[in-house]
Structure 1
Amino acid sequence: MRLKIPFDSVGTFLKRESRFTGVVLVDDVETRVHIHNTGRLPILSEGKRVFLKRKKAQTRRTGWDLLAVEHEGELVFVHSGYHSITAEGIIEELFPNFEITREKKLGNSRLDFLVDERICIEVKGCTFRNENVAMFPDAPTRRGTKHVRELMRCVEKGFKAILLILVFLESDCFSPNEEMDPDFAETFWMARKKGVNVLIFRLKYDGEYLYSIGQLPICGEV
């Protein structure tokens, strides 16, 4: 999977003004930027270099999207608006020539993807690391827990189910973040026992392309 997403400018991050708005110094001017990510993003701290993409829309309050932050020598892609198209590229490689449907309603559930009318897929993006372990979530997520439970219901109905995790920073393995959200962690391990397959893909951003460099194991299952 290789997706072209070039940045238009580089700035210095000053502060997160609200959930979706940050203040960045661009060419010595304080500029408001859109942060398309609901996580806490602890890697996004004052003084970090950030990479921006210009956006033009009359309904927007900001003219920039924050794409990535430079963290410990690498560019970490943090714009969750690209998760769906990134995941679709990976799914196309996993299941070539299969029908892929986005936002598919199945019973009372709405799935990120349904493949070949028999494989349920939910997608999560990971931008948090503790030492060398990628962890999700970085904030409590009732919605994320609900999605994993929906995958278990897919299995109960006779479908196959995949939790697809996109890891955007250098890591050795992945683990659910039990300290941050014990309910999600418990649901994650339960889903594994119920037959939900977990696929973890490491994504790298070089300032022009976002691309997959392979899969990561679940910690303890190396």
Structure 2
Amino acid sequence: MKYSAIHLAIFIERSNRFIARCRLVETGEEIITHVKNTGRSKELLLPDTLVSVNHQPSEKRKTAYDLIAVKKGEMWINIDSQIPNALVAEGILAGKVQLPDLKGSINYLKREYTFEHSKFDIYFETDQQEKGFVEVKGMTLENHGIGAFPDAPTVRGLKHVEELRLAQTMGYHCYVLFVVQFPVISAATIHREMQPALYEAVGKAEADGVRILAYNCEVDQETISIKEAVPFDLKQKFIDPNQ
């Protein structure tokens, strides 16, 4: 996926969860941007960091720019939380994203599907009468080549994992798929210290047959695309760079 009107900028500060101040590299103009990620991203959004912003002016918007990606060392990290769902849906249909344990081929896919008390990101059916759900989570937190989720406690994420366990017992094929929004990673895991309850829930879900998957991405300042499957290891040690 390619953004339409990318500009490079220098990050100044994050005023709140949704708004940040940046300075355009090409003109020096200070701008207000919408941060398309409600996570903390404290290790990424540092003063004087190079970022990319997408110019999308509209009378219906409060800001003319979206903050899309952040340069961390030599690596771009995409922080657009709206992108992972679309990447996975397209990846499944194109055969780029593989869902293990299925006997048939997926012949129906619907995004945003309500089940019990949750709305899962993807519902699918196969030509062998299999049905299932995929819940997609974006991963932007990284340290020493290890990616972790979440970077802030998520009540919604915990609820989704618990209801996927229920769906699995009812005969659905269920998956949690982490889209690692950066390229260089050796393993993905759950940030146990950030949310112990989510760590425990994922462990129980795995034991019940819910598959936990991770795919990294090729990322630069204006594009992002699914790259390949990477290992998910619940027991992988993770050191929070913000501690």
Say whether residues 1:110 and 2:98 are aligned partners.
no
Task: Give 2:16's aligned residue.
Answer: 18
Segments of 5+ residues of structure 1 without an aligned counterpart are: none
Say whether residues 1:195 and 2:209 are aligned partners.
yes
Q: Aligned-pair RMSD on alpha carbons?
A: 1.8
Contact (CA 8 Å) 2:12, 2:21: kept in 1 or not? Answer: yes
What does 1:4-83 correspond to in 2, within 5 Å?
4-26=2-24, 27-42=27-42, 43-83=44-84
Contact (CA 8 Å) 2:7, 2:54: kept in 1 or not? Answer: yes
Question: How many residues align structurally?
Answer: 220
Alpha-carbon separation, structure 1, partners of 2:61 and 2:4: 21
Change (3 A) 1:134 1:97: same
Alpha-carbon separation, structure 2, partners of 1:83 and 1:6: 18
Identity %: 27
Task: Give 1:178's aligned residue.
Answer: 192
Task: Give 1:210's aligned residue.
Answer: 224
Contact (CA 8 Å) 1:113, 1:121: kept in 2 or not? Answer: yes
Q: The residue matched to 1:62 in structure 2 has which SS?
A: coil
The amino acid that maps onto 2:6 is: D
The amino acid that maps onto 1:15 is: E
The amino acid that maps onto 1:119 is: G
Alpha-carbon separation, structure 1, partners of 2:204 and 2:143: 23
Measured after TM superposition, the shift of residue 4 of structure 1 is 2.4
Change (3 A) 1:83 1:13: same
Task: Give 1:137's aligned residue.
Answer: 150
Contact (CA 8 Å) 1:52, 1:65: kept in 2 or not? Answer: yes
Q: Which moved more, 1:85-94 or 1:31-40?
A: 85-94
The amino acid that maps onto 1:164 is: L
Alpha-carbon separation, structure 2, partners of 1:38 and 1:131: 23
Alpha-carbon separation, structure 1, partners of 2:144 and 2:55: 33
Segments of 5+ residues of structure 2 without an aligned counterpart are: 100-104, 237-243
Alpha-carbon separation, structure 2, partners of 1:118 and 1:89: 18
The amino acid that maps onto 1:53 is: N
Alpha-carbon separation, structure 1, partners of 2:199 and 2:120: 20
Alpha-carbon separation, structure 2, partners of 1:109 and 1:180: 23
Contact (CA 8 Å) 2:6, 2:221: kept in 1 or not? Answer: no
Q: After superposition, what is the alpha-carbon deviation per residue over 1:57-110, rounded to whole angstroms, capped at 9, x for unaligned?
A: 212110001110010101111111212211211221237652111111123321
Q: The residue matched to 1:192 in structure 2 has which SS?
A: helix
The amino acid that maps onto 2:140 is: T
